[in-house]
Structure 1
Amino acid sequence: MSVNLKKKEGGGKEERECKKCRLGRTQMLHMYEGSATIHGVPKILSPQLYYFRRYLWTIMLIAMTIGLIIFLYRSFTRFYEYPIITNTRLEFNNEMQFPAVTICNANQFRQHKIPSDDWEIKDLIFEMSEMSVLSEYFKDHFAISSPEYSFIPEPEAHLGKNLYKFALDAAHKLEDMFIVCLWGGAVVNCSKYFERVITDMGVCYTFNSNRSSPITSYGSGSMSGLRVIVDIEQPEYYFSQISLAGIQVLLHEPGSAAMLTSNGFVARPGSSTAVTIRKERIDGLSKPYKAFGSEYCMTSHESGFKTPLQRYKDYIYTRQTCAMNCLTDDYVKHCNCCSLFDKGEEEYCSLRTLRDCYIPYKAVANISDILKNCTCPSRCVKDKYISSMSVADFASTFTKDYMVNNGILKNRNGSYISDNVIDLRIYYETLTVTVTEQRAEITIETILGDLGGQMGLFIGASVLSVVELVEFVTLLLIGWHNERQEKLKTKQTPVEHINKISSDSYL
């Protein structure tokens, strides 16, 4: 090792300048002793003021290092549990997208459309109705035993595609059911604002169903919302899926499939029902965070605008459509056909298959077991519409007489209005959205801050101290390697030494 000594001008202090150094371990320890920024290291390596000082500081440094490792392990363990904190905030808007409103008549089949002499179709409608479950007497009365016609070819009207056409034709028509429609206080054409949709309740009508061009509300209150006057045509009622009289209404996201058997509210005839809406939005964190308890949620980029479910590919993904997709898959797989109001591309079941296979199997199928084998995550971002209702009589006697006399309610008397007509008003209570937003409780930034704080607390170190330590260990290994090479050179035999000199001379 060649070392030059030079004096700094004005300083009078000598410093060593290493030009081509091969430092050994001893020199490196001395260098690290003078430059180490980890508390305790200089006190271990420097000359000792009392005999047990080195041992005391070594024990303290080891103990602090162990404590640091434990705290960092707990921090990283907590980080990989992906904990979440939830914040709630309010968004104030001048305008807001109106929800889709699906309205279904509680009755699915109009009496005058049902063939009076076709008892098999009547029997089928009864078997699909709520009354078949409630009344064993009615079931026995209308049922026709299968041996009487099991070997007879089915009539053309009983084939699946024809039964489906019959169901559509027998449903209540938009032009007969909707008397008056108002949007934003102005009378509008009902057929331009409502679209016929096939739901689990049969044929229904949806307002604002197109997500690509949604209808927007510019204010709160009844004059900024939707109002419809509906005639449920109760004289046409027959056996149906539900046995009440009135309409079933569902508020949902535009573009999503309407599931009415387990959602929505009902409005009775002869009433004026006012429904105020408040909008809530949930912004959940996607994988690896478990946004809703013990499950991962589905992000929009995974499903896009359309759902990944085959039966509802034209709709937005929701957890309910996923569950219905699984149930329908099971029913269809068992009977190799769809029911009248099922989504899917399979053929519709014939009357005989519906009666002998589909309806009995659906009645005994274990829904819990089917859904247990079905993965249906919630969406990370979803809108909810919270509604509250108030109900009064449809109108005063004077108002009803005025509406009849002026052609608003043609060919309807007071008794008919009380039994059939519903005035439904739906509007925003406020244009404020309650947003429930999830955020990561621990991020990389908090981990780095925690790391720096714990290192400073336990061993008085920083990130540069760690770099310094890594550099020292690296140089120490290099020094050990250099010393080993020097020892190997000194152990060469004289003959090897002479041969090496001769070889060098020759070269």
Structure 2
Amino acid sequence: MEKSAEQGGWTEKRASKHPTPGKPGMEGSCSVGEILLAFSQTTTCHGPAHVARNAGRWQRWLWAAVTLFFAVVLISVVAHENIGFFRRDVHSQTSSSMAETTGLQLPTLTLCNRGFFSMAKVTELGMDSKTATFLVGMISPGLVRFANLNSPKVQKLAEHAVRQVSAILNERNFTIPQLIQAMSYSCEELLLKCSFGLQSYESSECCQRVTPIATTSGLCFSWITSDQERQTMMGEYHGITLYIRMPQNDFVELYPQLVDVSRMVKSEMQVTVTSNLTYPSLLVTGRGTLLTENAVTSIPVLLTKVNKEGLKTFIDMYTQPCLKPSDASLQFFSDSFLSTSCNCMDGAITKCIFKLCDCYFYGIMYTMQAIGQMCTLNKTVMCFGQIYQQFSRMARLPSVTLSTQNTTFARLASTCLIEELSRCKDVCEELTYSYTSTVSTLRPAFLQDLYHDLQLNRRNSSVALVTVFFPSYTYNAVKLYKDSMLHLISDVGGYMGLFLGCSLITVIEFLLFTFCLVYHLLIRLKNLLLPSLNHSVVTPVTLK
């Protein structure tokens, strides 16, 4: 103990537990190693503290090795998290949910005749099967045999078809879309009856509900559902049921030199299940369920809701905001409908054909009242073929081989596709439907009553039923999102606590320690470089 002269009493002179940095040359000065030791002993980070607080040499080396190892792992993990964050990676979260009491929105149904035309109507118009085949090629260029277009037989067929079509158009004052409509079955000829939930409707009421749509499978009819059309009770009879007339022996014999008949194996009535956000023009050719006569086709569906609202955060300034589903519905067809993520590919191809070809072809008309000139067969094949070829190359898919190549047009097509694809916007909530189908033959006794109820002649037609429904109220919910700054801070903070036992308080401690250490080193450097400033002596000078 030592007596204090100032206080007149005794005070205990204790040694400082932690060295305190002071000015060099004074009693409180310390080395860099002592400062590091003081920080390690007082920091809230567990790793360095274990190294500093263990007096034994082997324990100190053990904890130093463990801390160094976890520090390296932490740096690599944090670097990986930052790379993914600034790359704006998309994450997904999937869960299974139960529907609310309002039920689930039913899908859109599109009814198509994969045989394109009625032979009886073709004959009534004064047209032969070769001209009908020519029109099939204009509707669906994917069926055309590209290698045979320049052959003498196909050229002669095309000249004959042009003359016959021109004569019919002049005689009946038709446009080509009106001619195709006259060659196809009408809604009243196909749709005999329909039901939604417990409500049944006759043919005329059903056809007021459906919308005619031009597709690459010819004239189709879509039952476009809205958000109000929901299945509120489970069971097969609470969905949508269609009673469809199946014509007998009314198919057009197609000319095999012009179209590939091996791709026409589906030539019956077909129903395609989509959402009301999907453009069915190109889709119906590649997807659908064929109907079986005198049988019921049951299609239980499973709904998946994909939420994309989390793809735009305050960091993603250049990302376009998502569209509300009501603004991107087929029911209210608009230009923005083709620029959504649901229809990005089809929309880009469709718009580029309109821009570059100066004409339209039936399979991708915006509406049934198309304005402008319809493309000839050769122009349809050339434009669609080259645009689709450029798209296939961009997607790194096998592409078709065309007999003639236009380098300038191919460059314009590539530029147009890139521009249109860049304009696609996400829909805030997309609906997708997965389904299976089962076919059950109707009992003869029931068929007899059904034919009588529908007033259907069994000699030239038959009936097919299709019902689409939800077997349960369960649906899949998928959430797509990008990490926000809060996600990054949470992830990095969690890894810091896991590997080194650190927190945000430790970060502040480290910053303060770094500032003090740099300040201390600068003071020492100043005293080493300019020692005369601390030990200079002023000598008086006598003037004579």
1:389 aligns with 2:409: no
Correspondences of 1:295-374 after superposition (within 5 Å): 301-302=321-322, 305=325, 313-315=335-337, 321-329=343-351, 331=353, 335-343=357-365, 348-350=372-374, 353-359=375-381, 362=384, 366=389, 368-369=392-393, 371-372=395-396
Separation (CA, whole Å) in 1 of partners of 2:513 and 2:242: 77
Please say if residues 28 and 476 of structure 1, whose CA atoms lie closer than 8 Å, have aligned partners that are also in contact: no
Q: What is the match of residue 220 of structure 2?
A: 204
2:470 counterpart (428, 444, 455)? 428
**Counterpart selection for 1:246 from 244, 248, 268:** 268
Partners of 2:349 and 2:36 lie apart in 1 by 74
Residue 184 of structure 1: aligned partner: 197
Residue of structure 1 in register with 2:296 after alignment: 272
Aligned-residue offset at 1:162: 1.5
Structure-2 separation of matches of 1:91 and 1:400? 40
What is the number of residues matched between the two proteins?
Answer: 461
Q: In the alignment, is residue 225 of structure 1 matched against residue 239 of structure 2? A: yes
- Residues 96 and 431 of structure 1 are in contact (CA less than 8 Å); yes or no, is this contact kept in structure 2? yes
Alignment of 1:93-492 (within 5 A): 93=99, 94=101, 95-111=103-119, 113-114=121-122, 116-117=125-126, 121-122=131-132, 124-128=134-138, 144=156, 157=169, 162-188=175-201, 189-210=205-226, 213-234=227-248, 237-238=251-252, 242=264, 244-258=266-280, 259-282=283-306, 301-302=321-322, 305=325, 313-315=335-337, 321-329=343-351, 331=353, 335-343=357-365, 348-350=372-374, 353-359=375-381, 362=384, 366=389, 368-369=392-393, 371-372=395-396, 382-393=430-441, 395-405=442-452, 408-410=453-455, 412-418=456-462, 421-437=463-479, 443-456=488-501, 462-463=506-507, 465-477=509-521, 479-480=523-524, 483=527, 487-488=532-533
Supply the distance in 2 between the matched residues of 1:44 and 1:435 (Cα, whole angstroms): 49
Shift, 1:307, TM fit: 6.3
Q: 69, 89, 103: which is aligned to 2:95?
A: 89
Deviation at 1:226, TM superposition (A): 0.7
SS in structure 1 of the partner of residue 284 of structure 2: coil
The amino acid across from 2:472 in the alignment is: T
CA shift for structure 1 position 431: 1.0
The 8 Å contact of residues 123 and 142 in structure 1, kept in 2 or not, is answered as: no
Aligned-pair Cα RMSD in Å = 5.4
Would the alpha carbon gap of residues 153 and 22 (structure 1) be closer, same or farther in structure 2, given more than 3 Å must change? same
Normalised to the residue count of structure 1, the TM-score between the two structures is 0.70
CA–CA separation in structure 2 for the residues paired with 1:265 and 1:44: 70
Report the residue type matching 1:261 in the other structure: T
Structure 1 unaligned segments of length 5 or more: list them: 290-295, 500-507
**Conserved 8 A contact 1:25-1:480:** no
- Distance in 1 between residues matched to 2:378 and 2:8, nearest whole Å: 107
Quick one: structure 1 residues 85 and 340, their matched pair in 2 at CA, closer, same or farther if it must change by over 3 Å?
closer
1:471 to partner: Cα distance: 3.9
CA distance in 1, matches of 2:252, 2:5: 112
Question: Contact 2:97/2:477 (CA < 8 Å) preserved in 1?
Answer: yes
Distance of 2:292 and 2:298 partners within structure 1: 12
User: Displacement of 1:368 after TM fit?
Assistant: 2.3
When residues 307 and 414 of structure 1 are mapped into structure 2, their CA distance, relative to the original with a 3 A threshold, is closer
Q: Tell me, in whole angstroms, the C-alpha distance in 1 between the residues paired with 2:163 and 2:206.
A: 47
Question: Partner of 2:44 in structure 1?
Answer: none
Q: Aligned pair in 2 of structure 1 residues 491, 285: CA closer, same or farther (>3 Å)?
A: farther
User: Mapping of 1:55-66 within 5 angstroms?
Assistant: none
Deviation of 1:430 (Å)? 0.6
**Counterparts of 1:78 and 1:307 in 2: how far apart (Å)?**
37
Q: Aligned partners of 1:260 and 1:87: how far apart in 2?
A: 30
Q: Residue 24 of structure 1 contacts residue 482 of structure 1 at CA under 8 Å; is this kept in 2?
A: no
- From the superposition, tell whether residues 399 and 449 of structure 1 become closer, same or farther in structure 2 (CA, over 3 Å): closer
1:165: Cα distance to partner?
2.7
Matching residue's letter, 2:493: L
Q: How far does residue 444 in structure 1 lie from its aligned partner after superposition? A: 2.6
Report deviation, 1:492. 8.4
CA distance in 1 between counterparts of 2:5 and 2:115 reads: 106
Please, what TM-score do these two structures have when normalized by structure 2? 0.66
> How far apart, CA to CA, are the structure 2 residues paired with 1:41 and 1:245?
76
Q: Match for 1:264: what amino acid?
A: G
Q: For each residue in 1:341-366, what CA deviation from the matched residue of structure 2 results, as whole angstroms up to 9, or x when unmatched?
A: 2145985544xx52232136646863
Structure 2: distance between partners of 1:146 and 1:316: 33
CA distance in 2 between counterparts of 1:157 and 1:426 reads 40
Cα gap change, 1:404 to 1:383, in 2 (>3 Å)? closer
Q: Distance in 2 between matches of 1:113 and 1:370?
A: 42
State the match for 1:293 in structure 2. none
Letter of the 1:29 partner, please give it. C
1:473–1:7 Cα change, 3 Å? farther
C-alpha distance in 1 between matches for 2:437 and 2:267: 18
Quote the Cα distance in structure 2 between the aligned partners of 1:342 and 1:435.
32
Partners of 1:223 and 1:417 in 2: how far apart?
25
SS in structure 2 at match of 1:260: helix
Shift of 1:280: 2.7
Instruction: State the 1:432 CA deviation.
Output: 0.3
Residues 151, 66 of structure 1: alpha-carbon distance in 2 compared, 3 angstrom cutoff: same
Report the Cα distance in structure 2 between the residues aligned to 1:186 and 1:149, rounded to whole angstroms: 46
> CA deviation digits over 1:153-209, x for unaligned, max 9?
966938999212322344322223211111112213313432223333232222234
CA distance, structure 2, for counterparts of residue 204 and residue 267 of structure 1: 15
Structure with higher Rg: it is 1
The answer on whether the counterparts of 2:70 and 2:499 sit within 8 Å (CA) in structure 1 is yes
C-alpha displacement at 1:99, in angstroms? Answer: 1.4
